[in-house]
């Protein structure tokens, strides 16, 4: 039987995974060593990588499928380590931030994100994002998650349960029925454990704390809520769950890490962190997801200044993208003026916080803190899938090298939930989640857009055919 040799574009998702597949003559982009390895062969079967090594030393047996990727770059699939599927990215998705329910009832927004989850997942895969981590969702979406398991077009999905918030839930969310409720407030360690007991039966992949401080004295508020944070972390860990924490102040981030947080889902924005803070994260092995662009998404939209990126047009949901311009056309001119003014007032503060976040990211990345690229997609002005590339550009502006960003966007995302033994690099035994690129992403991160094929759990996909 002769070996089957086919060009990439002839192959599609019907390609069988029961025979070994050989990607020959790849330039392998390896985030583990941060080196590009020339002329490599990657062998996979049944969704798992079997062998990786120099093409001259690996010979295909009879019956194998051979894909010649000479002149192409192969890298691990990318990971967005912070998304929210209970949010659409459009103008109407956070009525606690801007209440437009008289123009679009929030029940319609809930129905939309449930009905369009497949399309959102397809957008991620078509962009080369083969894993998404939802850092806080609803019981209904936790149940819906399982319907996408092993669908060729869907990235791997990890979901936290509803956010466990220290003392505050926006009223619009608190009034929702249980299946659609994304946030629960706890004001004592006992309440925290009770809420976890309600979440565990839905089988979340990890637990998320929303470490919110209402007290103007941030330190006092953080210390007041710390017992609930500690109880949540201790109980979740005892049940085998990792803990992600929203903590945007240095003191809340510090206390959360000291209490055992595994994953900080935002950068510190209120002060430049010192060496002691960096050492704390490094000693604990805490992963940091900076989410640099999410705040600007809100205020660019509120100010009427949201400018779609090329990726928004290529990968963003067109309905939600269009909605980001709606505020300029609503009949309530006082509302429009109020939010335009709010955006102008916040501009200086946003710029200062952006600067602090970027300084902190650079300092921590250079010190060896594990960084995971994440967007907080779903928030107003942060569209699913397309915002990933905006986040990468912001990380570049912070001073991170291309290798640091590629590593954060692959292996770092896997390490956020200690899943580097499943995906995040190209190693024997790991899932065959890979991208075939027409140009070198290390030379220029813009080449991440030059995506020829996505290999999702061993299935070769044409990105254009995956798009909804």
Pull the structure tokens for residue 356.
């602090």
Q: Give residue 14's pLDDT band: very low, low, confident or very high (50, 70, 90).
A: very low
Q: Which residue has the tokens 């979740």?
A: 236
In this structure, are residues 117 and 132 in contact, taking their beta carbons and an 8 Å threshold? no
Other beta carbons within 10 angstroms of residue 171's beta carbon come to 9
- State mean pLDDT over 100-108: 96
pLDDT in tens, 59-88: 999 889 999 999 999 999 999 999 999 999
- State mean pLDDT over 393-408: 98
412 closest CA partner among 262, 289, 277: 289
185 closest CA partner among 169, 204, 201, 173: 169
pLDDT of residue 41: 98
CA distance linking residue 423 with residue 133, whole number of Å: 13
Please report the sign of the dihedral spanned by the C-alpha atoms of residue 111, residue 117, residue 118, residue 120: positive
Q: Which residues contact 438 (CB under 8 A, 6 or more apart)?
A: 72, 73, 447, 450, 451, 452
In this structure, are residues 37 and 28 in contact, taking their beta carbons and an 8 Å threshold? yes
Indicate the SS3 state at residue 26: strand
Tell me the percentage of the chain whose pLDDT exceeds 70.
96
pLDDT of residue 6: 46
Judging by DSSP bridges, how do beta strands 65-68 and 4-6 pair with one another?
Answer: parallel
What's this model's pTM, rounded to 2 decimal places? 0.94
In this structure, are residues 43 and 49 in contact, taking their beta carbons and an 8 Å threshold? yes
Other beta carbons within 10 angstroms of residue 192's beta carbon come to 25
CA distance linking residue 400 with residue 404, whole number of Å: 6
Complete DSSP assignment for 345-410:
HHHHHHHHHHHHHHHHHHHHHHTT-EE-----BTBTT--TTTHHHHHHHHHHHTT--HHHHHHHTT
Query: What mean pLDDT, rounded, does the chain reach?
Result: 95
Three-state secondary structure string covering 158-195? EEECCEEEECCCCHHHHCCCHHHCCEEEECCHHHHHHH
229 closest CA partner among 288, 172, 163, 159: 163
Q: Give residue 19's pLDDT band: very low, low, confident or very high (50, 70, 90).
A: confident
Q: Is the pLDDT of residue 180 over 90?
A: yes
Q: Is the pLDDT of residue 278 over 90?
A: yes
pLDDT of residue 150: 85
pLDDT in tens, 308-343: 999 999 999 999 999 999 999 999 999 999 999 999
pLDDT of residue 197: 97
- 156-159 sheet: strands from edge to edge: 78-83, 129-134, 156-159
**Range 95-104, long-range pairs (CB < 8 A, 24+ positions):** 95/172, 96/170, 96/171, 96/172, 96/173, 97/298, 97/380, 98/302, 98/327, 98/339, 98/380, 99/172, 100/330, 101/172, 103/326, 103/330
CA distance linking residue 259 with residue 348, whole number of Å: 33
Burial class (CB in 10 A: 0-12, 13-18, 19+), 68: middle
Q: Give residue 167's pLDDT band: very low, low, confident or very high (50, 70, 90).
A: confident
Comparing 14 with 36, which gets the higher pLDDT? 36
Where do the domains of the chain lie, and which CATH numbers do they carry? 4-75+425-466 (2.30.40.10), 78-415 (3.20.20.140)
**Range 389-394, long-range pairs (CB < 8 A, 24+ positions):** 389/127, 389/309, 389/311, 389/448, 389/449, 390/293, 390/309, 390/311, 391/291, 391/292, 391/293, 392/445, 392/448, 393/445, 394/292, 394/293, 394/358
Q: Which residues contact 337 (CB under 8 A, 6 or more apart)?
A: none
Q: Which residues contact 349 (CB under 8 A, 6 or more apart)?
A: none
Complete DSSP assignment for 63-75:
T-EEEE-TT-EEE
pLDDT in tens, 194-226: 999 999 999 999 999 999 999 999 999 999 999
Indicate left, alpha or beta for 37 from its phi (over 0: left) and psi (-120 to 50: alpha).
beta
Pull the structure tokens for residue 150.
């092993």
CA distance linking residue 219 with residue 281, whole number of Å: 19
Phi and psi at 368, nearest 5°, equal 95, 10
């Amino acid at each position: 039987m002769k070996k089957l040799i086919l060009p990439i574009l002839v192959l599609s998702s019907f390609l069988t995974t029961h025979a070994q597949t050989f990607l020959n003559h790849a330039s392998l982009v390896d985030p583990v060593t941060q080196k590009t390895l020339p002329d490599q062969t990657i062998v996979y079967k049944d969704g798992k990588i079997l062998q990786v090594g120099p093409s001259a030393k690996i010979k295909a047996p009879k019956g194998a499928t051979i894909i010649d990727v000479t002149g192409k770059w192969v890298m691990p699939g990318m990971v967005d380590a912070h998304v929210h599927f209970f949010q659409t990215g459009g103008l109407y998705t956070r009525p606690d931030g801007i209440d437009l329910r008289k123009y679009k009832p929030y029940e319609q927004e809930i129905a939309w994100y449930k009905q369009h989850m497949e399309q959102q997942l397809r957008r991620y895969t078509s962009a080369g994002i083969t894993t998404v981590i939802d850092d806080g969702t609803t019981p209904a979406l936790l149940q819906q998650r399982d319907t996408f398991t092993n669908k060729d077009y869907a990235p791997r999905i990890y979901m936290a349960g509803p956010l466990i918030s220290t003392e505050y839930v926006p009223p619009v969310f608190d009034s929702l029925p249980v299946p659609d409720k994304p946030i629960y407030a706890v004001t004592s360690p006992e309440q925290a454990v009770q809420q976890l007991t309600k979440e565990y039966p839905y089988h979340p992949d990890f637990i998320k704390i929303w470490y919110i401080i209402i007290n103007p004295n941030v330190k006092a508020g953080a210390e007041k809520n710390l017992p609930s944070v500690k109880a949540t972390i201790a109980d979740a860990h005892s049940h085998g769950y990792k803990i992600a924490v929203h903590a945007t102040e240095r003191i809340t981030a510090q206390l959360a890490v000291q209490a055992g947080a595994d994953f900080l889902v935002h950068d510190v924005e209120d002060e430049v962190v010192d060496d002691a803070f960096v050492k704390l994260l490094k000693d604990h092995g805490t992963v940091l997801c900076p989410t640099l662009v999410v705040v600007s998404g809100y205020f660019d939209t509120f100010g009427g200044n949201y400018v779609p990126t090329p990726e928004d047009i290529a990968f963003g949901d067109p309905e939600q993208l269009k909605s980001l311009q709606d505020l300029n056309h609503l009949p309530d001119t006082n509302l429009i003026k109020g939010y335009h003014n709010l955006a102008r007032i916040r501009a200086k503060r946003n710029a200062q916080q952006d600067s602090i976040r970027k300084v902190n990211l650079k300092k921590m990345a250079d010190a060896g803190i594990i960084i995971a690229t994440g967007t907080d997609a779903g928030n107003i002005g942060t569209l699913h899938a397309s915002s990933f590339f905006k986040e990468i550009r912001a990380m570049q502006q912070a001073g991170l090298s291309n290798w640091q960003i590629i590593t954060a966007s692959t292996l770092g995302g896997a390490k956020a939930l200690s899943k580097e033994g499943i995906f995040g690099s190209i190693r024997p035994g790991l899932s065959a989640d890979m991208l075939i690129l027409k140009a070198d992403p290390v030379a220029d991160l813009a080449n991440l857009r030059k995506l020829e094929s996505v290999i999702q759990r061993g299935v070769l996909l044409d990105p254009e055919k995956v798009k909804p």
